[in-house]
Structure 1
Amino acid sequence: MQSKNQLNVIHVALKIPFADHLDYQLPRSLSLPPLGARVLVHLGRNKPVVGVVVGFSETSPHGSLKPINEILDNEAFFNDKNLALFKQAAKYYQITLGEMIFTAVPSWFKQVHNKPVPQQKWWQAKSSLEHAEQLLSTAPKQLEVFQYLLNHGPITSKSLTHLTKSAAQVCQLLADKGLAQANELCLVDNQAAIDPGYTLTTDQQTAWSKLQHHDKHFKVMLLDGVTGSGKTEIYIRFIQSLLKQHKQVLLLVPEIGLTPQLFHEISQRINGQMAILHSGLTDSARARVWQHAKTGKLDVVVATRSGIFTPFQNLGAILIDEEHDLSYKQQEGVRYSARDLAVLRGKIEHIPVVLGSATPSLETFNHAQQGQYLWLKLRSRTNHNPLPNIVLQNVNNNKPNMGLSVKSLNAIRLHLTEGNQVLVFLNRRGWSPKLICQECGWVAQCDDCDVYLTYHKHLDLLKCHHCDRRYLVPEFCPACGSQHVETMGVGTEKIAEGLKKNLSTTDVVRFDRDCVKTPKQWQNNLEIVRSGKPCVIVGTQMLSKGHDFPLLSLVVVVNVDNSFFSADFRATEYLAQLLTQVSGRAGRADTKGEVIIQTQFPEHPFFNALFAQGYETFAHQQLTERIQMQFPPATYLAIIRAQHRDSYMLESFLTEMTACCNDNQHVNVLGPIPAMIAKKQKLHRMQIILNGNQRRALHALIRQLKQQFNQNKVQWFIDIDPVSFD
């Protein structure tokens, strides 16, 4: 390292939109900070803020510089490869380096302090139940805690306080007896990995052989397997192989609810240290995962979207489960795609990237078809069960009551009497999506957003699902005074109550954001389902993703027709993915499944393309249409979104911006047009859609607009590769 006399100008990245870094003077009293360390600096006349060291120089073109106030870290909290990722991601998503870094890092590192990350004890059982019962025959409370650790560990002692107020002391007593152990992270050190003696299918063996061939260099591989084809088994064997080479693995999943399930499956099969990383953890817990991954203490990290930025000492591969899922795209702040950044990171670190899905996104499908990605196909289920029988139920002649037709209810009863479980899927929560006057047609709307209000019966309130504002239910129509104000449509709450009335002796378990808000609530519901008793599961999109319900034999899908009328060119792709994923939940064990789709349009060509010919054929057709219509992935898309309280000022601003784009020969411009939700939280929203056949030309135009309109009262931002027009 050079002396501070040679490199006394420090380049500091800050969370600012106008520069990648600012230059600061290193005082003689301070040693040169390491690259990637946090420092405290003044920004303008405000109080000191946290910045990150991203470079050094001997001189600065900016003349007199402000000094660095304090160096907060003795070592970097990310590595050089992370910094390379941050720089390239910032350039691609048209943001500053500081904005990218402060989006990526856990909140602990954004705070003004130089304290070490606090450690926490995670307890887990260390012995068999039989041995514990012998030692604890006279200590029933200790045995109860041990059994809980055996079934739910690793967990903190705080999570055991519902069993005993002295949970920490009881855990320590168990440790003293050799029955439990504490780790400094929520991790597993499985010294007795289970080998199930599983024989791979022909498809799996082919995929596994090709994966092994590409395990030491950059290669993107699409693991395209029907639901139940054994993608997880391939993940596990690949992870085992990499750990034997003393490498680390990052596995991304789309939802928090999927992390414990995959974590448990993998932890039973590998000999190594594992940890979970998602937004449900505390700031310090996320920071601990970063530290332990960076120093090599962790072998496998199972994470959601933001986990793509986790630093590793020796990362060997990145695996993306359900790569098509929209959850991998950040929709607020810096709008990055974790899947796309995984590919970029793999290229930077010269490691393989595996994208797994039963329904690949058309972008990934296109890359695989063109040979840019290695295409590994799993076309048969490991249990050799046939795919479920699809029934398109015409609801025009079979009107639903509380969301379900008589035929659907009869099918549900039949499957329950056979000892099976049933899933009723509806991607709409609440009781009803509208409250409407039967006399004049008035519909309850949010005052702050351009959306209808949803009625929630358990609250007896109307609720906006965009700003969370709540309203009392009017007794009379505010427009005409009529008493005939009624709810219209159906949500998961209404369906669940209808099922409870019709199936009074059967458990009805609801999965949606209203009743499942934490990982613990999710686990509690899963335990009811996995008890093996016949039950009906009612859920939204969170249930379409990778969950294994062995006794599920029937899936009923309610209200799919809205997608046929969407303005989003990807709507049918998303519907096909959703229906295929949900349908795949049926018949996964030893029973042939059945899927009932309630629709007003059973003859729609969409259904024939998807179910008669399969998702791959459907995707080929969709890709051909996209190429003809010049939509992604045949072209490159960006949206400039803007919002303001004054709709006239908003439209004037975007009209001026559009005028600067119209002469560009390589980019088609649409707009300004209202966003699909034209007002949200009292702000009017409009957008310009930029569609180009050359990525370089599209990005050059956006850079030009950023320079030209960098000072404006209208708030605007850029969405590169958008997945939604909301």
Structure 2
Amino acid sequence: MFAKIIPAVRLPKSLGTYDYAVPERYRGLVRRGSWVIVPWRGRPVDGLVTELSETASVENGRIAELLGFGDSHALEEDLLSLPQKMSDRYLVSPATALKAFLPRTPKTKLLTDITEANPPEQTVRTKSNLAERLLIRYRRPDEKIAEAIRLTKSTVDSGRGAVVITPHSAEVAELVRALTFPDGPPVMEIHGGMTGPRLRINWKRLLSEPVAIVVGTRLAALAPIRSPGLFLILESDSPDLRQYDQNPRYDSREIALWRADESGAGLAYLSHAPRLEEYALAAEGRLSRLATPTSDPKTVLVNVTGNPRGHDHPLSPAIMNRTEESLRQGKKVLVYHNRLGTAGALICNGCRLVFRCGRCDIALGVGSSGLRCPRCATTTALPSACPKCGDTNLHNVGLGTKSLETALQREFPESKITAYDSDLSDEERSRAIDESDVLVGTRLILHDLAELPSRADWGCVAVTDLDGLLSFPGFRVTEDAWRTVRILKDIAASSEAPLMMQTLDPDGTKIRLLSSNERDFVATELEARRGSAYPPFGTLLTVTVRSQSQDETERQAKELVAALKEAIVPGHGTVAGPLRHRRPFRDGMWRSVIVIKTGTDIPPSVRQALTELPESHIVDRNPETIG
């Protein structure tokens, strides 16, 4: 007997399964889905059996025998089918896909003395007794936890297991406590922060449990739960639900959808502001949109054209008056200002030189301890003179959170003003929410206030630069800006506070769209995506070229662009680049990005060209950001 096996190793995209001989002593024990150990280039590696046959596709004399088992239980069909699905979707080999989630078995843990295999479970593939597919928008973190408890409890009470996925490993322990029910099934953690041995132990435990609850990060979407009844994704709009900086760049939201379809399990996406991809699924009838919170706060667009306070004070009189009133009432004020440090840039008054990052070629931000690149985090000392003309007259441009903190402290000397950004430790951020009267925060504050329990009573929530939310590149910029506004609305609504957003163009179409209701925004933006053939109505692929040398990276990227343009049939796709990566130097490697835009189904010539790429190149499908 012979078995076709996917080895859990990184292989070129064009390679698939390999034939191995099944020793006579393992006849009847090996079956489709078996987790086995096979020899690979002189060492044992884990693998997955996809097919059994009495004949081999190569000469018998060249076929090695499998060595043993990683576990006596076989993987369920919804997990067994994933390596090939991930290969097709993310343009990697099935072996590379399998290596992304199958734990490694040490030599000392190899199972060779199995005498009786567990019989294949005849899982009934029926829909869960839950609503089949749910898209749920919540406003407060307690609503998120309550909904997770309700859905999970209903699932396990029906005799099936649940997989609960959060984008943040720091929240796993809290979810485990919340989902541990009296006399309920075991709750197991699966996340990338676990050691290899612990991950393997939890995998084997899950394979042996008829019903279990899995809680973890994106890796939990690939957990071997035996009778799945629910896949629940929390904060489903988070980019951290995607794998980063290595192949395969899988998306746990897509993995959960595939497994729910295959197993007949329920599926729920929970978020403050769902992505347009989920809204598109709802429009197709594949998700049911539940009623969303309707108590939106009063939203005011503040025209700051000709602000009488001047360019060095970014808050308008209207917001300053509201801040003063809120503080007088004993309430807190949140100012969303997405610019770190003291200033956004440093400029020479003599020759107008802008101090830039030598790697990223963008303006260096000004902090208390020096200049800092907002992309690659490279720091340098504050210069005393211009390196080009020698002028010592240097000045800051664009207030950062630290400067705004200082300006507000002058205005309200009796109040505690805190710049809430990544310069603060976790403990300092926690204290700041409780002790500060005014918080000046970057994007970091959105998660901490919207997703974690907060005791703050807001009197006002303000945005200093609504126009700036639309200034970033990429087809998702309007969606990302709307999501930011949506979360700020929820924070304001939690205390019945107004949301005041400063803009230079209050009558602009895009600005009005950001402050519109959910239904109007989704309909307008989906139509725009459809007209431009961007995801979910088209496919955007990025190829990241990496090398330790900047010159070599640029050379390879240019050669690849030329090769792709020649290989792709006209009309099958367009190629752009090479483009500068948003973090061109990271972890000792230089990066350059190539973008390919094509139809929803990738044409054969595009797929073939990408299949022939070196394994070191990272391919991302419909990325959250370019690069």
Q: Which residue of 2 aligns with 1:37?
A: 35
Amino acid at match of 1:441: R
Change (3 A) 1:630 1:472: same
Which residue, out of 464, 474, 488, partners 1:568?
474
d(CA) in 2 for partners of 1:503, 1:276: 47
Contact kept in structure 1, 2:45 and 2:104, CA below 8 Å: yes
d(CA) in 1 for partners of 2:335, 2:166: 23
Tell me the CA shift for residue 509 of structure 1. Answer: 5.7
Tell me the CA shift for residue 375 of structure 1. Answer: 2.3
Amino acid at match of 1:595: L
Change (3 A) 1:26 1:566: same
Amino acid at match of 2:502: Q
Q: Which residue of 2 aligns with 1:448?
A: 359
Change (3 A) 1:226 1:389: same
d(CA) in 1 for partners of 2:573, 2:598: 5
Amino acid at match of 2:323: I
Q: Which residue of 1 aligns with 2:398?
A: 489
Q: Which residue of 2 aligns with 1:723?
A: 624
Change (3 A) 1:285 1:372: same
Which residue, out of 155, 160, 164, partners 1:242?
155
Q: Which residue of 2 aligns with 1:479?
A: 388
Change (3 A) 1:593 1:8: closer
Amino acid at match of 1:701: S
Change (3 A) 1:551 1:269: farther
> Structure 1 residue 356 and structure 2 residue 270: aligned?
yes
d(CA) in 2 for partners of 1:235, 1:581: 19
Change (3 A) 1:485 1:266: farther
Deviations 1:444-497 (A, max 9, x none): 33333333333332xx13333444433233222222222123343344444455
Contact kept in structure 2, 1:10 and 1:53, CA below 8 Å: yes
Contact kept in structure 1, 2:37 and 2:68, CA below 8 Å: yes
Q: TM-score, normalised by structure 1?
A: 0.72
Deviations 1:403-450 (A, max 9, x none): 555654443343233232332323444443423322223223333333
> Structure 1 residue 95 and structure 2 residue 4: aligned?
no
Tell me the CA shift for residue 319 of structure 1. Answer: 1.4
Tell me the CA shift for residue 94 of structure 1. Answer: 1.3
Change (3 A) 1:610 1:684: closer
Which residue, out of 427, 437, 457, partners 1:552?
457
Q: TM-score, normalised by structure 2?
A: 0.82
Amino acid at match of 1:625: A
Contact kept in structure 2, 1:14 and 1:99, CA below 8 Å: yes
Amino acid at match of 1:221: L
d(CA) in 1 for partners of 2:69, 2:145: 42
d(CA) in 2 for partners of 1:718, 1:631: 17
d(CA) in 1 for partners of 2:230, 2:536: 26
Which residue, out of 585, 596, 614, partners 2:517?
614
Amino acid at match of 1:725: I
> Structure 1 residue 432 and structure 2 residue 343: aligned?
yes
d(CA) in 2 for partners of 1:472, 1:423: 31
Matches within 5 A, 1:138-537: 215-216=128-129, 219-224=132-137, 230=143, 232-259=145-172, 273-274=186-187, 277-296=190-209, 299-333=212-246, 334-381=248-295, 387-394=297-304, 396-397=306-307, 398-399=309-310, 401=312, 404-405=315-316, 407-457=318-368, 460-496=369-405, 499=408, 506=415, 511-516=420-425, 521=426, 525-526=429-430, 529=433, 534=437, 536=439
Change (3 A) 1:350 1:465: same
Contact kept in structure 1, 2:506 and 2:512, CA below 8 Å: no
Deviations 1:584-620 (A, max 9, x none): 11131xx421222233333322232342x40211111
Q: Which residue of 2 aligns with 1:157?
A: none
Q: How many residues get paired? A: 596
Deviations 1:347-403 (A, max 9, x none): 11111111223422222212212323222222435xxxx524434352641446475
Change (3 A) 1:291 1:467: farther
Contact kept in structure 2, 1:220 and 1:374, CA below 8 Å: yes
Tell me the CA shift for residue 88 of structure 1. Answer: 1.4
> Structure 1 residue 706 and structure 2 residue 606: aligned?
no
d(CA) in 1 for partners of 2:311, 2:324: 16
d(CA) in 1 for partners of 2:210, 2:417: 43
Which residue, out of 582, 592, 595, partners 1:685?
592
d(CA) in 2 for partners of 1:559, 1:38: 57
Tell me the CA shift for residue 300 of structure 1. Answer: 3.3
Change (3 A) 1:288 1:39: closer
Contact kept in structure 2, 1:670 and 1:690, CA below 8 Å: yes
Change (3 A) 1:600 1:215: same
Contact kept in structure 2, 1:609 and 1:618, CA below 8 Å: yes
> Structure 1 residue 631 and structure 2 residue 626: aligned?
no
Q: Which has the higher contact order (CA 8 A, sep 6+)?
A: 2
SS of 1:475's equivalent?
A: coil
SS of 2:81's equivalent?
A: helix
Which residue, out of 489, 493, 514, partners 1:587?
493
Change (3 A) 1:582 1:245: same
Amino acid at match of 1:472: A
Q: Which residue of 1 aligns with 2:79?
A: 82
SS of 2:229's equivalent?
A: strand
Tell me the CA shift for residue 317 of structure 1. Answer: 0.4
Change (3 A) 1:234 1:599: same
Q: Give the unaligned 5+ runs of structure 1.
A: 1-5, 117-212
Where in structure 1 do 4 or more consecutive aligned residues deviate above 6 Å?
Answer: 26-34
Tell me the CA shift for residue 343 of structure 1. Answer: 0.8
Contact kept in structure 2, 1:40 and 1:70, CA below 8 Å: yes
d(CA) in 2 for partners of 1:490, 1:292: 54
Deviations 1:235-255 (A, max 9, x none): 332222112123222222333
Change (3 A) 1:372 1:288: same
Change (3 A) 1:353 1:405: same
Q: Which region of structure 1 is more displaced relative to structure 2, 316-325 or 227-236?
A: 227-236
Contact kept in structure 1, 2:73 and 2:208, CA below 8 Å: no
Q: Which region of structure 1 is more displaced relative to structure 2, 579-588 or 395-404?
A: 395-404
Deviations 1:706-725 (A, max 9, x none): 35x4469xx53422222222
Deviations 1:96-121 (A, max 9, x none): 1221122234xxx34755459xxxxx
d(CA) in 2 for partners of 1:614, 1:102: 44
Amino acid at match of 2:398: G
Amino acid at match of 2:331: N
Amino acid at match of 1:651: K
Q: Percent same amino acid at aligned positions?
A: 18
Contact kept in structure 2, 1:416 and 1:534, CA below 8 Å: yes
Tell me the CA shift for residue 320 of structure 1. Answer: 1.7
Tell me the CA shift for residue 346 of structure 1. Answer: 0.5
d(CA) in 2 for partners of 1:650, 1:387: 48
> Structure 1 residue 51 and structure 2 residue 49: aligned?
no
d(CA) in 2 for partners of 1:76, 1:446: 54
Deviations 1:503-549 (A, max 9, x none): 56655566544434xxxx36x744663x5885636342452443443
Q: Which residue of 1 aligns with 2:122?
A: none
Tell me the CA shift for residue 669 of structure 1. Answer: 1.0
Tell me the CA shift for residue 703 of structure 1. Answer: 2.6
Contact kept in structure 2, 1:641 and 1:687, CA below 8 Å: yes
d(CA) in 1 for partners of 2:521, 2:199: 40
